[in-house]
Amino acid sequence: MNKGAPRTPGWWFGDAAVPAWARLLAPLYAGVTALRRRLYRRGLLRQRRAEVPVVVIGNLAAGGAGKTPLTIAVVQKLREAGWRPGVASRGYGRRDDATPLWVTAETLPQDGGDEPVLVARRLPVPVRVDRDRAAAARALAEAGCDIVVCDDGLQHYRLARDIEIEVIDGSRRYGNGRMLPAGPLREPVERGRCCDFRVVNLGHGAGQGGTGFGEWPMHLQARAALPIAGGRPRALASYIGIRVHAVAGIGNPQRFFDMLRALGVGVVPHAFADHHAYRPEDLQFGNDLPVLMTEKDAVKCAPFADARCFAVPVDAELPAAFWVALLDRLDRLR
């Protein structure tokens, strides 16, 4: 592990004992969260509507679960179905979090947030970041979008939504099942039952858990490595039997390492904290082995990446029946 490795508490997803202070604070957090939900449900706190359908993609457990790949896949399907989608996000980690911003492919990650910049580079759709995601959704509607997809924001109740999609990490699920800070849960597990769709990220193959009743499987497929400094793509299969430095600053770096290993790549892992602000020295490992990193990390490393560095984009794949069910629900909202 690098000095920038994730600092997820060992008791969240492991067997470590939960500290007493965390057990004492968890009921307080749970009570405040429940009160807030109740106030919105009773109308004492006001929700804001965007005048167009809103799809919120989020998760209950803190950390990455695969929301952004699913967001990209949903937006692509919407465009194919004739919708004019836009993407709303908070833009976590921006240096000016208080100022709303239209994000384009040219926006710097430190200004727009790494995930929104990634979405803007992958999709020809408007992307708006705002701490108030309800305001972001309204701005997208005013810009001509006829549907808004919110990347994260399941707990942002100020934004009224028509469809909720919960994303679950297939290998880690809900960890120890406790509320923050005793566990990774932002809301109780039962909250997921209120969501219209529950998608389980099974990663890149077997060994990543499975799906239960009412859950849809999602697999992430990676086929090529793209040179960050420019050049021709390289098939991932060409790295079979070759040692590489694997860099991941996502919610669950192990998922990226496991994917490469499953393909037969010799992985030297380098895990960083989610939303890590990379510096050139972070990619100096003392040799000239290839450096493979997630697409999310690549958008931040692009200014100083050299010929060793490659991004590995992934595509979310779900059953055809999922897309039929989702688009059918949305067609009723047109």
Q: Which two tokens stand for residue 138?
A: 């309204």
Mean pLDDT across the stretch 127-135? 95
Helix (H) or strand (E) run with residue 226 in it: strand 224-227
Would you say domain 20-219+317-331 falls under CATH 3.40.50?
A: yes
State the average pLDDT over residues 31-52: 93
Q: How confident is the model at residue 14, as a pLDDT?
A: 83
Helix (H, G, I), strand (E, B) or coil at 86: strand
Q: Are strands 127-129 and 147-151 parallel, antiparallel or unpaired?
A: unpaired
Q: Report the mean per-residue pLDDT for the chain.
A: 92
Decide if 240 contacts 265 (C-beta within 8 A): yes
For residue 126, cis peptide bond before it (omega within 30 degrees of 0): no
Which residues sit in the known binding site?
Answer: 61-68
* 99: Cα within 13 Å, side-chain hemisphere: 9
Q: Nearest CA to 220 among 171, 164, 150?
A: 171
Check residue 211 and give its pLDDT. Answer: 80
Work out the pLDDT band at 1, boundaries 50, 70, 90: very low
* pTM, two decimal places: 0.91
Q: How far apart are CA 149 and CA 187, in angstroms?
A: 21
Distances (CA, A) of 271 to 276, 311, 319: 10, 15, 31
Distances from the Cα of 331 to the Cα of 73, 140, 170, 214, 323, angstroms:
18, 19, 29, 21, 12
For the chain, which residues make up each domain, given as ranges?
20-219+317-331, 224-313
Residue 189 carries which side chain, given as an amino acid letter?
Answer: V
Question: Nearest to residue 53, comparing CAs of 121, 126, 117, 145?
Answer: 145
The DSSP code for 283 is G
Give the sign of the dihedral formed by CA 258, CA 259, CA 265, CA 269: negative
Residue 208 has pLDDT above 90, yes or no: no
Nearest to 65 by CA among 250, 301, 290: 250
- Which helix (H) or strand (E) element contains residue 260? helix 253-262
Residues of each annotated binding site for ATP: 61-68
